Structure formats: C-alpha cells, structure tokens
A and B are shown apart, each in its own frame.
Chain A
Amino acid sequence: MSVVTSDQSAARRFGLGQAGAVCAALVLLLCLMVADLITGPAGLPLADVLRGLADGPAGEDRRLAVILWNLRMPQTIMAALVGCTLGIAGLMMQTILNNPLASPYTLGFSASAGFGAALVILFGSALPVAMWIGVPLAAFAATLIAAALVYLVARYRGASPEMLVLAGIAVLFLFQSLQSLLQFMAAPEVLQQIVFWLFGSLLKASWTSVKVLCVILALTLPFILREVWNLTALRLGDGNAASLGLNVDALRRRVLVLVALLTAGAVSFTGTIGFVGLIAPHVGRSLVGEDHRFGLPMAGIMGAVVLVAASVIGKAISPGAVIPVGIITAIAGIPMLLAIILMKGRR
C-alpha cells in the first residue's frame, strides 16, 4: 500500500475505492444470476430467459414462465440469499472469534440443524405438520437451541474466543452424536433422505423459503449495521477494543445471536452448504480490507457469488441432473482453504 500524503488520496483511502469494489462485485453477481437462470436440464437460451423475465410469471409462453419463475428463479434467488447470509455470518464469526478459519458452522450450528432436520425426517409422519415446513422449522429451532447453549456459557463464563470455541465444540459433538444416533435408527430409504438434506441443495428452494430468508435478513440487517464500527474496532484485539470503551463480551454475545439467526435461516431450507461462510469473508476482506462498513456487504456479495457460481457449475457439469451445491462448494472449498492457510503462513 502506498504512503498517503495528499488529502485527495486520503479521501480515496476512506471509502471511495471500497465502494467501487462493492459495486463491481454486485455486477458480477447479477451476471452469474443470469447465467444460473440460463443453465439447467431444460436448457433455455439467453434470449428466451430475457423474454421470460420481461413477460413476467403470467407470460403467454406457459412452459417458459413455469420453468423460469416457478423452478429456476426461486433457486437462483435462494442461492444468492443463502450465500449472502453465510458470507455475512462467516465474517462476523471470524471477527468475534478472532480466527480466520472460523465459519458460521464453527460453533456447532450446522450439526444442530442437521439433527433437527433428521429428527423430523425420521419421525415427521407422526407430526401434525407437513414435511416441507416441518423439516426447516426443526432445523431452525435446533440451531437456535445450539446457539442458546453457547450463549449461556458465554453469559456466565465470559465471551472470550476461547470460551466460545470450547462451548461450540461441546455443542458440535452433542448434536453430531444425536444426529448419528438418528441415522443409526433410520431405515435405509429414510437415511437416504437425511443424507441428501445434509448435502445442502438448492432443489428445496421455493418462493416461501425465499420470503422467509428475506424476512430474517430484513430483521437482522439493521442490528448488524449498528455494529460495523464496533466489529472493525474488535479487529484491533480485545485489549485495544476494550480500551476504546467497547464492551467486547456484550458485543460478542449480540453478534452471536445475529449469526445464529442468519445461519438458522440459511441452513433450514437448503441444508448445510459448507465453505461459503469460510471463503467469502476472506475474498471480501482481501478486496476491501478490515473496514466492516464495506467488509460485511462484500462478504455477503462474495458469498452469493460463490454459491450462484457453484449452482451454475453443478448444473453445467451434469446435464439432465443437478449435483447438490453443497458438494460443489465442499470440493471447490478445500483448495481455497489450503490457499488461505498457505497465504496466512507466508504473511
């Protein structure tokens, strides 16, 4: 980074370049979303997609309208929303745990969601609610229960990163064990359903899930935006942040609640899609730096970019079938994770 001496370049340093990067990432995301709408077993050319978008859901070409608006659009928007949610939650988790390898799932939230989903898949027939709503509800509730356990430990023993991670590990093993127990009890065809849910797939997306996730984002974003300077200050380390008058324990607990809500919303409808919440914050941070005013939107957009790109790849590499995005992100995420570790070591 160059040494800044003039006021003009100082203005650039304080935001203009970062805002430009966020806008460029947004354009990239929109292009990928169009690519995702074009890609799929039914094979729609760009001209048809654009015509279908212009005609709307009630367009005259019913086949086109149904494929575009009822099947592909909810999946594309859901991919962007889930990616965005996991990216934002991932950056917040990495900041409060002061750990570049943290993700929204670090504290056992994915294992708890998997347990909740598996519980309803196994015993759902005995419940008075339909499976399509029972599974996400149970995953959502189980994630919040896991978060509550971690929160309680943080409330009584302090919210240091070490304490949160220890509590998270305990929660992770608890729910993983319970999930294994359910899988052991399940009949082969039920086990297959549980495993498919755990893969993480956008095929479960619908307009209902899109609306629910939009509501969760709309409810949490105002609280997240209030914390941007506090989270940036936390990057200076606990001692420095506290000496600037910041109650770091209280901040960690508030952010933990927000991360839990975002993660619960993201995984409950699509399953546990890995690596997005780990990779997106790193890509975002490398583009706009530590300033969370730009880092959080950028992590969100990059999360959406990664997941929509994975969706395109999942559909493109196996015409006629769709590989679950959770598998694509996991395969693509491992080299990215290694790259992060190697770059970190070099620094």
Chain B
Amino acid sequence: MSLILDGFTVDASRRSLLRIDALRLPSTGLVAVIGPNGAGKSTLLKALAGVIAYGGTRSLDGAWPAPERIGFMPQDFAVSAAMSVADCVLLGRRERLGWRVTAQDRAEVARALTALNLDALSGRRMDRLSGGQQQRVLLAQRLIRDPRVLILDEPTSALDLHHQLEVLDHLRALSATRLILAALHDLTLAARYADHIVFLENGELVMAGPTADVLQTPCLNRAYRIDSEILQDRTGSAVIVAHRAVSN
C-alpha cells in the first residue's frame, strides 16, 4: 500500500503552480521534498494538507485520512498570541476538546512536550519565545494529533544545529508508523534522514525515489544551478557540498 498522486495539479489565476502526473511512495517513512526556490514544494505540501484547492486525486492506503489525522506545519508559523505553550499544544486536539479540559487532554499535552524536550517551556508565553522555540512547540502541537500523515514545510528552518538533529531524529523514529513529508533546503540533512526524495523543479516532478537514487550531482547541479560534489562523512552518510553558483 502507498501514497498515490494521480494527475495532481494546483492552479492559480489560470497559471499552473504544480503538475504531478503520477507519484507513488511507500505509506510510511520520511520523505524529503526538495527543489530550488519556486519549485512548488510548499504548494505540494499545502495541497496535500488540504489548505489550498487542487485537481486530481490523492490517496494513502486507498483513501485519504480525515483532517484530524493530518498534521501540517506551514512555513509561516510565527505566533503573536499571549497564550501559554501548554495551551498552544492543547489546541492540536481542537476537534476533540469539550468545554472542560480532561485529564487525558493534559496527559497528551505533557507527552507531546516531553517528546520534544519542551517541558521547561510549558508555562512560558508563546509570544515571548524565539522562532526556533516556537517552531518546536508547534511541531509538538501537530504531534498531539497523532497524525497518520505529518506534512512539514521546512520544519528545521528556525532551529540551531542541535535542535535540527534532535527534531529530525524524533521525526525519523515517528516515521516507522506514519508517513512524514518534509520540505528541506539542507540537502545533507535530506540525505541523512530521508528514506525517499521527491525532487521538484518549476512546479513539476523531476524525480522521486529512494534517497541515494535521487541525490545525484548532475540532477542537483542542473536544478539548483550549482557546481556540487557528494562526499561521505565518517558514518558513511552523504554530504552535499556546493562549491559555487553557476550562472546561466
């Protein structure tokens, strides 16, 4: 069983933003969505999350999960509300909340905070956190939904190196039982953590498949307009080094 997109399109004002004729991916695992700026990464993720209109079909294991089983984190996540971190995470269970917050609700919040080492921030106000702290809290908010599909638009964009690795380690562990699609700009992180890669360029699918098959220098050089080299670090993981930008 798998994630299947058929004739999947997104248009705006009669202009095509995304066109994927056919895409098949396993139903679990960590999938990195990569591509240069304007490739259609955010558009694909928003359409899959149901936030914007799309054409064609999408299915996961024959159907598409209900909205409450989808966790989507957009690129523009900044929160200016003066609510506590715990209250913010609690809103991840929006559809299941009654007038009274139950002990189970509180336990779920505590579990999600602990999973991302956020217990110390529990009582802090969201509007007083740094961008990176907010990003981790909002990830915890999405995790509390126990999503079947987790869709993350640049989930490490505001994080320092330590937290980038911590978050991706956690996502990798979670991906054993669910599908995680994450737009990533750092190709080395994509090489290290992703099981599969979806490579987009100019709103079209360039290639999709296992990470090692997709991350090849000719393809990267052409799409990103760079002169790159793929090395290996001491763990055997690929490291993508871009030596210089290549002008047209």
- Residues of B contacting A7 in the complex (Cβ-Cβ under 8 angstroms): 106
**Closest CB-CB distance, A163 to chain B, in whole Å?**
17
Contact A2 B51 (CB under 8 A): no
**Closest CB-CB distance, B70 to chain A, in whole Å?**
7
Given contacts A4-B122, A5-B122, A243-B72, contact A289 B87 (CB under 8 A): yes
**Closest CB-CB distance, B65 to chain A, in whole Å?**
11
Residues of A in contact, count (CB < 8 Å): 34
- Residues of B contacting A232 in the complex (Cβ-Cβ under 8 angstroms): 83, 87, 91
Contact B92 A244 (CB under 8 A): yes
- Contact residues of B between 81 and 135, Cβ < 8 Å to A: 81-84, 86-88, 90-92, 94-95, 97, 99-101, 105-106, 110, 119-125, 127
Contact B125 A1 (CB under 8 A): yes
In the complex, whether A48 has a CB less than 8 A from a CB of chain B is no
In the complex, whether B79 has a CB less than 8 A from a CB of chain A is yes
Contact A5 B119 (CB under 8 A): yes
Q: How far apart sit A347 and B125, CA to CA, in the bound complex (Å)?
A: 12
Please classify the interface of chain B as helix (H, G, I), strand (E, B), loop, or mixed, using the class held by over half of its residues: mixed
Contact B110 A10 (CB under 8 A): yes
In the complex, whether A131 has a CB less than 8 A from a CB of chain B is no
- Residues of A contacting B78 in the complex (Cβ-Cβ under 8 angstroms): 237
In the complex, whether B73 has a CB less than 8 A from a CB of chain A is yes
Q: Using CB atoms, name the residue of chain A closest to B66.
A: A245
Contact A1 B84 (CB under 8 A): yes
Contact B80 A237 (CB under 8 A): yes
Q: Using CB atoms, name the residue of chain B closest to A244.
A: B94
Q: How far apart sit A7 and B145, CA to CA, in the bound complex (Å)?
A: 21
Q: Using CB atoms, name the residue of chain B closest to A286.
A: B82
In the complex, whether A239 has a CB less than 8 A from a CB of chain B is yes
Out of A2, A228, A240, which one reaches B77, CB within 8 Å?
Answer: A240
Contact B91 A289 (CB under 8 A): no
Q: How far apart sit A293 and B110, CA to CA, in the bound complex (Å)?
A: 21
Q: How far apart sit A225 and B99, CA to CA, in the bound complex (Å)?
A: 9
Contact A4 B123 (CB under 8 A): yes
- Residues of B contacting A2 in the complex (Cβ-Cβ under 8 angstroms): 123
- Residues of B contacting A243 in the complex (Cβ-Cβ under 8 angstroms): 49, 51, 71-74, 142
20 A-B contacts (beta carbon < 8 Å):
A1-B84, A4-B122, A7-B106, A10-B106, A10-B110, A13-B87, A14-B86, A14-B87, A14-B90, A14-B105, A14-B106, A232-B87, A232-B91, A237-B77, A237-B79, A243-B73, A244-B92, A245-B50, A246-B94, A289-B83
Besides the contacts A232-B87, A240-B77, what 11 more A-B pairs have beta carbons closer than 8 Å? A1-B125, A13-B123, A15-B101, A229-B97, A243-B49, A244-B91, A245-B50, A245-B94, A246-B94, A289-B84, A290-B83
Residue positions of A touching B, CB distance < 8 A: 1-5, 7, 9-11, 13-15, 225, 228-230, 232-233, 235-237, 239-240, 242-246, 285, 289-291, 293, 347
